[in-house]
Amino acid sequence: MQFNNWNVTINGKGSHDVVVSEDTLLILQNYQHVEIALKIVNDTIQVKSLGYGEDVCINPVTKEITINVTNLLEDDD
């Protein structure tokens, strides 16, 4: 997906919802609470919220963001 001219890849399983505006990207776990919040301010990506077990990798050279979402409450198959 694209977010403010950045290519975003979201890895993980379980239910999540993505909400995007011009300068903010939110990932909600189980459609309830914000697990990851990214905001662009003056061409800088700021991590505003990062849940337990989640990680975000930002590559400014290639303008790629990789988000790994781990839902600790989700049962494994």
Question: What are the tens digits of pLDDT across the range 10-67?
Answer: 888 767 788 999 999 998 876 677 889 999 998 889 998 888 778 899 999 999 999 9
DSSP conformation class of 70: -
Backbone angles phi, psi at 15, to 5 degrees: -85, 130
What single-letter amino acid sits at 16?
A: H
Kindly tell me if the per-residue pLDDT of 77 is higher than 60. no
Q: For residue 55, with 0-12 CB atoms within 10 Å meaning exposed, 13-18 middle and 19 or more buried, which class applies?
A: middle
Residue 21 confidence (pLDDT):
93
| Verdict on whether the full-model pTM lies above 0.75 | yes
User: In 3D, which of 62, 74, 61, 69 has the Cα closest to residue 25?
Assistant: 69
